[in-house]
């Protein structure tokens, strides 16, 4: 299937074409992938096109009546074309999403503009872009009430707040620019996974500092919680980026690997919380002030994971939830609501346990907080750079991450499709 850049169809139509629409002709002016079927514009698109044509025709008549001729481009309004699932390459297709796909070789400007047009990615973009501003606002409020520069007790929270602003912003950008090319799509989601992985590191840093049960403070796990989390972030980013390679040929395997890549650090980060909730509930170490927020967070985290793995509801009714209500949008919403409750729980633990923690354990150190974040960022960028370089420059099919069954790389699959 050829993927050459094609311009969006013009809405300027001749009388015959317009009457074809009105006489029940279901096919408008078409963009056709080589060898692919003709496109069928949506009802809304047809209405916009027809009114644009009528306006253009009236303008043309008025100008002809005055003996002037307008350049053809002035009578032409170009609208971004959306595509159905069979019109885009396999790598762009989503389970249960039938329509609303953007051009697979959109320009960066088209991608930005598409966030204001209803496509199957629009709600994905906004459900993480708006929460970014909410978390930034909360961060600014905390900056005015806490001394992040001089009080080392607040550094774990500083790292956490930076990362809960970063991950939805990166995700929003990834969804915005993922239709520039197949390679760009993979790299956008590599960065998205990296930001999520760093968020899990931020959770570990902040849980290690504020959420650890009293009886585990200064234990081996407490001392090594952050270094293990740095290692986890490498495993998480590596596995999640790898999971994109076998995605087309082995979608279930890819899904299992990707889900496992994020569930594993989540479970590790929450070990102290699970202990507080399950084994010392009611004792002094449970610190009930924060527990309801922690429970809400866990509930939304479970929902997030379920939606990510299940592809519900669009799996039950393919095409019904293309624009609004599909699982990825719900996944985004549950993730940010869960993060909100997690932030409230961390703030509650941080303030209510400050005296006890300061008296019974060492204050958080710069290397264990900001330093760990810096190391995490560098290592994640290195992994993402490695996967991106493999994707862009490896000889055909010679990608190393898939030796067992000689799984073709995304790049090779793209070439096979051509």
Binding-site residues, in ranges, read 175, 328, 332
Residue with tokens 């907080």: 369
User: Least Å distance between CB 136 and Zn ion?
Assistant: 19
Report CA torsion sign: 288, 292, 298, 302: positive
Query: Is the separation of the CB atoms in 207 and 270 below 8 Å?
Result: yes
Q: How far is the CB of 260 from Zn ion (least distance, A)?
A: 18
> Which residues are CB-neighbours of 215 under 8 A, at least 6 positions away?
280, 285
Closest contact distance (angstroms) between CB of 374 and Zn ion is: 26
Output the smallest distance, CB 3 to Zn ion, in A. Answer: 24
CA 222, 223, 226, 230 torsion-angle sign: negative
CA distance readout (Å), 152 to 88, 272, 369, 370, 377: 51, 22, 9, 10, 21
Respond yes or no on whether the N-terminal peptide bond of residue 299 is cis (omega within 30° of 0).
Answer: no
Nearer to Zn ion, 33 or 321 (CB): 321
Please identify, using beta-carbon distances, which residue of 171 and 254 lies nearer to Zn ion.
171
Helices 251-269 & 271-278 angle (0-180, nearest 10)? 60
Give the 3-state secondary structure of residue 83: strand
Toward Zn ion, which CB reaches closer, 171 or 206?
171
Q: How far apart are CA 418 and CA 412, in angstroms?
A: 10
Report long-range pairs for 104-108 (Cβ below 8 Å, ≥24 apart): 104/3, 104/179, 104/181, 104/182, 105/3, 105/4, 105/5, 105/179, 105/180, 105/181, 106/80, 106/179, 106/180, 107/180, 108/177, 108/180
Q: Which is nearer to Zn ion, 11 or 384 (CB)?
A: 384
Q: Is residue 78 classed as helix, strand or coil in its secondary structure?
A: strand
- Choose between 139 and 308: whose C-beta lies nearer to Zn ion: 308
CB of 75 to Zn ion, least distance (A): 40
Given the complex with Zn ion, which of 315 and 416 has the nearer CB atom? 315
Q: Which is nearer to Zn ion, 164 or 212 (CB)?
A: 164
Shortest distance, position 109 Cβ to Zn ion, whole Å: 22
Q: Closest distance between Zn ion and the C-beta of residue 133, in Å?
A: 17
Q: Which residue ranges make up the site for Zn ion (CB under 5 A)?
A: 171
DSSP helix/strand/coil, 218: coil
**Closest-approach residue to Zn ion (CB):** 171
Report the binding-site residues for Zn(2+): 175, 328, 332
């Amino acid at each position: 299937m050829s993927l050459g850049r094609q311009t969006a169809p013009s809405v300027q139509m001749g009388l015959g074409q317009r009457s074809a629409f009105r006489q029940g002709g279901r096919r408008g002016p078409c963009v056709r992938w080589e060898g692919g079927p003709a496109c069928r514009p949506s009802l809304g698109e047809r209405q916009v096109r027809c009114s644009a044509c009528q306006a253009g025709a009236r303008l043309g008549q008025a100008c002809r009546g005055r003996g002037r001729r307008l350049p053809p481009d002035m009578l032409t309004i170009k609208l971004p074309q959306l595509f159905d699932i069979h019109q885009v390459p396999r790598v762009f297709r989503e389970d249960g999403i039938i329509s609303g796909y953007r051009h697979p070789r959109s320009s960066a400007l088209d991608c930005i503009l598409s966030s204001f047009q209803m496509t199957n990615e629009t709600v994905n973009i906004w459900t993480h872009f708006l929460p970014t501003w909410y978390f930034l606002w909360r961060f600014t409020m905390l900056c005015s009430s806490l001394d992040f520069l001089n009080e080392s007790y607040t550094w774990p929270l500083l790292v956490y707040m930076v990362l809960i602003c970063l991950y939805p912003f990166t995700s929003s950008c990834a969804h915005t620019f993922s239709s520039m090319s197949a390679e760009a799509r993979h790299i956008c989601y590599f960065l998205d996974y990296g930001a999520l992985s760093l968020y899990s590191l931020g959770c570990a840093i902040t849980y290690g500092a504020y959420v650890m049960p009293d009886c585990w403070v200064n234990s081996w796990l407490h001392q090594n919680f952050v270094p293990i989390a740095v290692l986890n972030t490498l495993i998480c980013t590596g596995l999640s980026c790898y999971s994109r390679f076998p995605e087309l040929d082995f979608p279930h395997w890819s899904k299992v690997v990707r889900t496992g890549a994020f569930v594993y650090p989540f479970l590790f980060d929450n070990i102290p919380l699970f202990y507080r909730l399950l084994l010392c509930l009611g004792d002094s170490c449970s610190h009930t002030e924060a527990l309801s927020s922690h429970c809400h967070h866990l509930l939304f985290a479970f929902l997030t994971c379920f939606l990510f793995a299940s592809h519900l509801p669009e799996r039950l009714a393919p095409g019904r939830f293309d624009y609004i209500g599909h699982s990825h949008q719900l996944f985004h919403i549950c993730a940010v609501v869960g993060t909100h409750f997690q932030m409230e729980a961390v703030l509650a633990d941080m303030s209510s346990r400050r005296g006890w923690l300061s008296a019974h354990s060492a204050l958080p150190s710069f290397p264990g907080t900001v330093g760990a974040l810096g190391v995490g960022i560098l290592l994640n960028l290195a992994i993402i750079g490695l996967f991106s370089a493999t994707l862009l420059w490896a000889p055909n099919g010679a990608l190393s991450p898939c030796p067992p069954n000689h799984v073709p790389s995304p790049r090779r699959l793209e070439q096979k499709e051509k």
